[in-house]
Structure 1
Amino acid sequence: MEFKRSFRINTTDRRCVYPKVHSWSLDGSGDCCSWDGVECDEVTGRVIALDLSSNCLSGTMSPNTTLFRLVHVESLNLAFNSFNFSSIPYGFGNLSKLQYLNLSSSDFSGEIPRDISQLSKLVSLDLSHFSSETLRMPNMGGFIHNLTKLKELDLSLVSLSSPFPPMLANFSSLTLLKLASCGLSGNFPVSIFQLPNLEVLSVANNSNLSGFFPKLHWEIPTSIGNLSLLNELAAWGCYFSGSLPSSMGNLSHLTELYLDGNNLQGQIPISFANLAQLLVLLLSYNNLSGDSLEWMVNLTKLTSLSISGNRFFLVILSAILTILDLSHNDLYGDILGALQNLKNLIMLYLNSLSLNGVLNINDLFTLKNLKVLDLSNNNISFTKSFINATTLKLTNLKLDSCNLTEFPQFIGYSDELRELSLQHNRIQGIIPRLTWNNSKESLLYIDLSNNLLSGFEENQTHLPLPNLNYLDISSNLLETTLPTPPPLVMLYNISNNFLSGEVPTSICEARSLTVLDLSNNALNGTLPPCLGSIGPLILLNLARNKFDGMIPHGYLNGCALRMIDLRENQLSGNVPRSLGNCGMLEYLNLGDNQINDTFPFWLSELTYLKVIGLRSNNFHGPIESSLSEFNFTSLHILDISNNNFNGEFPSNLLKSCHAMKIMVGQDKLAYLDIFGFLPNVSFNISMNSSHTYAMKLMNKGTKREYAKIPDVLMAIDLSNNKFEGFIPKLIGDLESLRMLNLSNNLLNGGIPSSLANLAVLEALDLSRNNLVGEIPQQLARLTFLSFFDVSHNRLSGPIHVECNLIHSGAVHL
Structure 2
Amino acid sequence: MGYVNLVFFMLFPFLCHLSFSSSLPHLCPKDQALALLQFKHMFTISHDASDHCFDITGQSIQSYPKTLSWNKSIDCCSWDGVYCDETTGKVIELNLTCSKLQGKFHSNSSVFQLSNLKRLDLSNNNFSGSYISPKFGEFSSLMHLDLSDSRFAGLIPTEISHLSKLQVLSIQSSLLRFGPHNFELLLKNLTRLRELNIDSVNISSTIPLNFSSYLTALWLPFTQLYGVLPERVFHLSNLESLDLSDNLQLTIKFPTTKWNSSASLMELYLYSVNVTGRIPESFGHLTSLSKLDLLSCNLSGSIPKPLWNLTNIELLDLGNNHLEGPISDLLRFGKLRSLSLRNNNFDVQLEFLSFKRIWTQLEELDFSSNFLTGPIPSNVSGMQNLQFLFLSSNHLNKTIPSWIFSLPSLYDLDLSNNHFSGNIQEFKSRTLHRVSLKQNQLQGPIPKSLLNQHDLYYLLLSHNKLSGLIDSTVCNLTSLQVLDLGSNNLEGTIPLCLGEMSILRVLDLSNNSLGGTINTTFSIGNVLGVMKFDGNKLEGKFPQLINCKYLEVLDLGNNELKDTFPKWLGALPELQILNLRSNKFYGPIKDSRTDNLFAQIRVIDLSSNGFSGDLPVRLFENFEAMKISSEKSGTREYVGDISYYYTISLIVTTKGLELELPRVLTTDLIIDLSRNRFEGHIPSIIGDLIGLRTLNLSHNRLEGHIPASLHQLSILESLDLSSNKISGEIPQQLTSLKSLEVLNLSHNHLVGCIPKGKQFDTFENSSYQGNDGLHGFPLSKDCGGDDGVAQMTNLVELDEEEGGDSSMISWQAVLMGYGCGLVIGLSIIYIMLSTQYPAWFSRMDVKLEHKILTRMRRHKKRH
Which bracket does the TM-score occupy, shorter chain normalised?
0.7 to 0.9
Residue in 2 aligned with 1:767? 722
| Pair 1:483-2:447 in alignment | yes
| Pair 1:502-2:492 in alignment | no
**Cα distance change on mapping 1:789 and 1:76 into 2, 3 Å:** farther
SS of the aligned residue for 2:323 comes to: coil
- The Cα of 1:547 is off from its aligned counterpart by 1.3
Distance in 2 of aligned mates of 1:191 and 1:778: 58
Map 1:51-70 onto structure 2 (within 5 A).
Answer: none
Farther-moved stretch of structure 1 (797-806 vs 640-649): 797-806
May I ask how many residue pairs the two structures share in their alignment?
A: 677
- The Cα of 1:638 is off from its aligned counterpart by 0.9
Distance in 2 of aligned mates of 1:124 and 1:237: 18
Map 1:447-596 onto structure 2 (within 5 A).
Answer: 447-456=414-423, 460=425, 462-484=426-448, 485-488=450-453, 489-577=456-544, 579-596=545-562
**8 Å CA contact 2:50, 2:100 repeated in 1:** no
Find the partner of 1:654 among 620, 624, 633.
Answer: 620
Farther-moved stretch of structure 1 (492-501 vs 481-490): 481-490
Give deviations 1:741-799, integer Å, cap 9, x for gaps: 12222222222222222222222222222223333333233222222222222233343
Higher Cα radius of gyration: 2
| Pair 1:426-2:395 in alignment | yes
| Pair 1:302-2:254 in alignment | no
Farther-moved stretch of structure 1 (771-780 vs 496-505): 771-780
| Pair 1:631-2:663 in alignment | no
Identity of aligned residues (%): 26
**8 Å CA contact 2:577, 2:604 repeated in 1:** yes
SS of the aligned residue for 2:625 comes to: helix
**Cα distance change on mapping 1:753 and 1:387 into 2, 3 Å:** closer
**8 Å CA contact 1:496, 1:521 repeated in 2:** yes
Residue in 2 aligned with 1:374? 340
Residue in 2 aligned with 1:393? 361
Residue in 2 aligned with 1:737? 692
**Cα distance change on mapping 1:357 and 1:734 into 2, 3 Å:** same
**Cα distance change on mapping 1:699 and 1:251 into 2, 3 Å:** farther
SS of the aligned residue for 2:309 comes to: coil
Give deviations 1:138-182, integer Å, cap 9, x for gaps: xxxxx85x944355796869698xxx85x8457765886846434
SS of the aligned residue for 1:523 comes to: strand
- The Cα of 1:666 is off from its aligned counterpart by 4.2
**8 Å CA contact 2:201, 2:223 repeated in 1:** yes
**8 Å CA contact 1:428, 1:452 repeated in 2:** yes
Map 1:153-172 onto structure 2 (within 5 A).
Answer: 168-169=157-158
Distance in 1 of aligned mates of 2:628 and 2:150: 28
**8 Å CA contact 2:457, 2:481 repeated in 1:** yes
SS of the aligned residue for 1:499 comes to: strand
Distance in 1 of aligned mates of 2:284 and 2:477: 49
Residue in 1 aligned with 2:674? 719
Distance in 2 of aligned mates of 1:524 and 1:321: 54
Farther-moved stretch of structure 1 (611-620 vs 518-527): 518-527
What amino acid is the match of 2:317? Y
Residue in 2 aligned with 1:190? 180
Distance in 2 of aligned mates of 1:540 and 1:261: 40
Distance in 2 of aligned mates of 1:36 and 1:260: 35
Distance in 2 of aligned mates of 1:316 and 1:796: 80
Map 1:228-247 onto structure 2 (within 5 A).
Answer: 229=193, 231-232=195-196, 234=198, 247=209
Find the partner of 2:299 among 317, 329, 332.
Answer: 329
**8 Å CA contact 1:743, 1:769 repeated in 2:** yes
**8 Å CA contact 2:377, 2:401 repeated in 1:** no
- The Cα of 1:395 is off from its aligned counterpart by 0.7
Give deviations 1:225-245, integer Å, cap 9, x for gaps: 377648425467989687x66
Farther-moved stretch of structure 1 (756-765 vs 698-707): 756-765
TM-score, length-scaled by structure 1: 0.73
SS of the aligned residue for 1:379 comes to: coil
- The Cα of 1:249 is off from its aligned counterpart by 6.1
Residue in 2 aligned with 1:601? 567
Farther-moved stretch of structure 1 (613-622 vs 494-503): 494-503
- The Cα of 1:387 is off from its aligned counterpart by 9.7
- The answer to which structure has the higher helix fraction is 2
Distance in 2 of aligned mates of 1:509 and 1:546: 23
Find the partner of 1:181 among 174, 177, 188.
Answer: 174
Distance in 2 of aligned mates of 1:9 and 1:236: 24
**8 Å CA contact 1:729, 1:752 repeated in 2:** yes
SS of the aligned residue for 1:149 comes to: helix
SS of the aligned residue for 2:234 comes to: helix
Distance in 2 of aligned mates of 1:649 and 1:370: 65
**8 Å CA contact 2:678, 2:700 repeated in 1:** yes
- The Cα of 1:303 is off from its aligned counterpart by 2.0
Residue in 2 aligned with 1:280? 242
**8 Å CA contact 2:612, 2:677 repeated in 1:** yes
**Cα distance change on mapping 1:125 and 1:738 into 2, 3 Å:** farther
Map 1:243-282 onto structure 2 (within 5 A).
Answer: 247=209, 252-253=214-215, 255-259=217-221, 264=226, 269-270=231-232, 272-274=234-236, 276-282=238-244
Residue in 1 aligned with 2:665? 710
Residue in 1 aligned with 2:745? 790
SS of the aligned residue for 2:560 comes to: coil
Farther-moved stretch of structure 1 (424-433 vs 443-452): 424-433
| Pair 1:413-2:382 in alignment | yes
Give deviations 1:22-71, integer Å, cap 9, x for gaps: xxxxxxxxxxxxx843344989x9xxx9999xxxxxxxxxxxxxxxxxxx
Residue in 1 aligned with 2:827? none
**Cα distance change on mapping 1:236 and 1:227 into 2, 3 Å:** farther
Residue in 2 aligned with 1:682? none
**Cα distance change on mapping 1:778 and 1:267 into 2, 3 Å:** same
Distance in 2 of aligned mates of 1:699 and 1:239: 48
Distance in 2 of aligned mates of 1:623 and 1:159: 54
Residue in 2 aligned with 1:199? none
Distance in 1 of aligned mates of 2:191 and 2:603: 55
- The Cα of 1:710 is off from its aligned counterpart by 1.1
Distance in 2 of aligned mates of 1:419 and 1:387: 16
**Cα distance change on mapping 1:286 and 1:509 into 2, 3 Å:** same
TM-score, length-scaled by structure 2: 0.69
What amino acid is the match of 1:725? G
**Cα distance change on mapping 1:258 and 1:796 into 2, 3 Å:** same
- Unaligned 5+ segments in structure 2 are 1-40, 54-60, 83-93, 114-119, 138-144, 769-863
Map 1:65-84 onto structure 2 (within 5 A).
Answer: none
Distance in 1 of aligned mates of 2:194 and 2:354: 47
